């Protein structure tokens, strides 16, 4: 697969604080790649370097075969190929949805059709509404519209569903999957582990400026082969046991109880369980 993002030995410090310490990272064309890590782990600094908004102290970085630190005409040409959806934005409140998208389209040499983008992000019924009147979920859809109007090959999404209710989050996930289906590569940062599991082809966990592991959500941290936790009530007490072969263990319990096992629960490690173990239980 073609590498859209290639990072080797990335370093960045702020005075005595080392924010990024030798990060290696590769993102393949057409995948959704999630970067996970607690606050202060180096996640934001890494992404801002990839977006060309922050300088680096060392290492090699290529985004769409271009060093993000490049300047001049080459930088403008490169920015035509990427889209960025920041964590929050409050501009253009006095423009309508359609006007805002049309305005941003003029920043690009090969923009998508404005009407098609409005439909793609599910804002047709709000096309004539002022931006300031949109709900949180609708505003986030507009943010994505502004991020994709330039017809980007690579889209950066920073905490895209913060503050969303459950339905709005699932609707937004459907939109992201549609963008992936169009062949776009997406780099996602999120604090929601269920979001990473639902969307990402691969995830990377960063902590204290270093990448701990890169894997699929199902296999991260040995999750696929982790022991199952079996709990049940016996003699008035809830008992818990880790079982490498939970089906056989439950069968033994069932035989012992002569049928139904009281309050039986079988639980595999969630992505959140694995993640918290990897970062030492720090707040995400």
Out of 1.20.58.740, 3.40.50.1980, 3.40.50.300, 3.40.640.10, select the CATH number for domain 1-81+153-224+270-284: 3.40.50.300
CA-wise closest residue to 155 among 126, 121, 114: 121
Mean pLDDT, the chain, rounded, equals: 90
Burial class (CB in 10 A: 0-12, 13-18, 19+), 100: buried
State yes or no: pLDDT of 101 exceeds 50: yes
Q: Is the pTM here over 0.95, yes or no?
A: no
Cα–Cα distances in angstroms (integers) from residue 75 to residues 48, 115, 151, in the given order: 15, 28, 16
With tokens 């999120």, the residue in question is 190
With tokens 């004539």, the residue in question is 128
Give whichever of 3-7, 81-85, 136-140 has the largest mean pLDDT: 3-7
CA-wise closest residue to 266 among 284, 244, 283, 281: 244
pLDDT tens for each residue of 247-276: 999 999 999 999 999 999 998 888 888 888
CA-wise closest residue to 147 among 137, 138, 156: 156
Sign of CA dihedral 208, 279, 37, 274: positive
Token pair, residue 177, equals: 């999957």
State yes or no: pLDDT of 121 exceeds 90: no
Q: Span 114-129, mean pLDDT? A: 92
Q: Residues near 41 by Cβ (< 8 Å), separated by ≥ 6?
A: 206, 207, 208, 209, 279
CA-wise closest residue to 3 among 50, 36, 41: 50
CA-CA distance, 239 to 229, in Å (whole number)? 10
Pseudo-torsion of CA 166, 168, 171, 177, nearest 10°? -80
Q: E strands of the chain, at which residues?
A: 3-14, 17-28, 32-36, 58-63, 82-85, 154-158, 185-189, 202-207, 210-215, 228-234, 237-243, 265-267
At 284, the pLDDT band (50, 70, 90 cuts) reads very low
pLDDT tens for each residue of 35-50: 999 988 999 999 999 9
State yes or no: pLDDT of 283 exceeds 60: no
- 185 three-class SS: strand
């Amino acid at each position: 697969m073609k590498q859209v993002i290639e990072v080797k030995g990335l370093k960045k410090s702020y005075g005595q604080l080392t924010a990024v310490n030798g990060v290696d990272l590769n993102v393949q064309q057409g995948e959704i790649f999630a970067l996970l890590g607690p606050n202060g782990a180096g996640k934001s600094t890494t992404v801002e370097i990839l977006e060309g908004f922050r300088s680096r102290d060392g290492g090699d970085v290529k985004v769409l075969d271009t060093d993000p630190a490049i300047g001049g005409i080459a930088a403008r040409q490169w920015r035509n190929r990427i889209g960025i959806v920041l964590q929050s934005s409050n501009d253009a409140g006095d423009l309508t949805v359609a006007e805002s998208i049309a305005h941003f389209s003029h920043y690009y040499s090969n923009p998508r059709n404005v009407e098609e983008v409005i439909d793609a992000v599910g804002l047709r019924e709000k096309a004539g509404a002022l931006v300031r009147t949109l709900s949180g979920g609708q505003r986030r859809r507009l943010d994505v519209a502004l991020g994709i109007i330039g017809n980007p090959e690579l889209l950066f999404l920073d905490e895209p569903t913060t503050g969303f209710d459950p339905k709005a989050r699932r609707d937004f996930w459907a939109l992201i999957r549609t963008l992936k289906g169009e062949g776009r590569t997406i780099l996602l940062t999120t604090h929601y582990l269920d979001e990473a599991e639902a969307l990402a082809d691969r995830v990377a966990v960063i902590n204290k400026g270093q990448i701990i592991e890169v894997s699929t959500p199902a296999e991260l941290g040995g999750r696929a082969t982790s022991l199952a936790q079996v709990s049940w009530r016996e003699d008035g007490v809830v008992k818990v046991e880790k079982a490498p072969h939970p089906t056989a263990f439950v069968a033994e319990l069932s035989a012992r109880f002569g049928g139904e096992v009281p309050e039986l629960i079988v639980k595999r490690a969630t992505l959140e369980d694995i993640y918290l173990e990897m970062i030492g239980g720090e707040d995400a």
